[in-house]
Structure 1
Amino acid sequence: MSVDRLSRMRTGAPVECATRLLQEHWPRSTLLTPADIGLGSEETATADFLGLVEWLSDAGFLSYEALVFNSDGPMLVDATLTARGRAMLAREADRAN
């Protein structure tokens, strides 16, 4: 994945969609797939999804039990926002108000 594509994703709709979806399920964990966050079944969806997971995990915003690949594509098992991820969303909500 190119640095440009990853930079675009950091502030793009898939990141927002993933964090909001995880926030809605918190404190429970959930199964997360590329389709869940609007990446669909495009040729680049798997690479985009893995880049998003890597970035959110490296930033300390995402925790998950397992990354599974099957015939439907990748999925995160028991994905949840970390305390750091929830704090980041709270800061963003405060800025918006």
Structure 2
Amino acid sequence: MADTPYIALLNGLKAVSQENVVVVGLSHIVDEQKLDTMLCELGQYPAIYYNEDLQAFDTRLLMFSLQLAIETNVQIDSYAMAVEKLSNTPLQKI
């Protein structure tokens, strides 16, 4: 993963079959109220960032950003970085 993090990120996303994806980190327990807030916000905006351990994205936006990272060899190390660097959609921070 260290040499090609975007490949690992794309492989992780391939299993998603829903319209939206919530990304949860492992360093903190996610409060259900925060998760509900994220899901509500995601209904209004395609890229939501709460903190490094909780983000939500429209799956198509995320796949587009990761594919572009691979095609252009842009170095990224997170889904949030892919969307910020490679899409026209800024992260909505809550």
TM-score of the superposed pair, with normalisation by structure 2: 0.32
Higher helix share goes to which structure? 1
Provide the TM-score with structure 1 as the length reference.
0.32
